[in-house]
Copies of this chain bind each other. A is one copy, B any other.
């Protein structure tokens, strides 16, 4: 659904370019990751647990990025050499919606097109444009799949905070690892040489 209160958020907008990968490609990728109906169910179970914790989660994630010089540089203003608070703040609002979207686990063409757009926004093709930022030209590819680990590791305690069983927390965590890695893979498309994706 449109969220005029969150500038740049564009899931479901007809203006998005069509993703260069198809729903059939997604299904094959999911098979190769053992991503199935149980993972969809676990992600959806996590939504109610995470919904009122997104700000606390983002505090942890942003804290990790801020304390890792190799990462925070991508949110820097290349003119001042300092982290750009406006840029960080603008992205943060979309990041909160991304948590809920990932938990929704609705995989359709609109979702696929939005993944492609998010990939472009990390890549030199579109980075900085949405927020008029003056950051480095790209987030380096290597860190995209890498960030799956801190994101999902630090998420786990939040999954456990609302009384779910240990087994359910494990299932939700494993589903989140797959869902985030799957998105990082789709987001990598603009970085990959023609015909090698």
Residues of B within 8 A of A149 (CB): 33-35, 177-178, 181
Residues of B within 8 A of A34 (CB): 149-150, 153
Looking at chain A's contact residues, the main secondary structure is helix
Chain-B contact segment, one of A43-51, A110-118, A135-143, A157-165: A135-143
Instruction: Return the CB mask of A145-189 against B: 1 if under 8 Å, else 0.
Output: 111111001000000000000000000001001100110110010
Is A191 located at the chain interface by the 8 A CB criterion?
A: yes
Total interface residues in chain A, CB < 8 Å:
38
How many whole Å from A94's CB to the nearest CB in chain B?
21
Residue in contact with A197 in the complex, picked from B28, B123, B141, B150, CB distance below 8 Å: B141
Is A193 located at the chain interface by the 8 A CB criterion?
A: yes
How many whole Å from A145's CB to the nearest CB in chain B?
5
Asked if B31 contacts A196 (CB within 8 A), the reply is no
Is A37 located at the chain interface by the 8 A CB criterion?
A: no
Residues of B within 8 A of A71 (CB): 32
Is A17 located at the chain interface by the 8 A CB criterion?
A: no
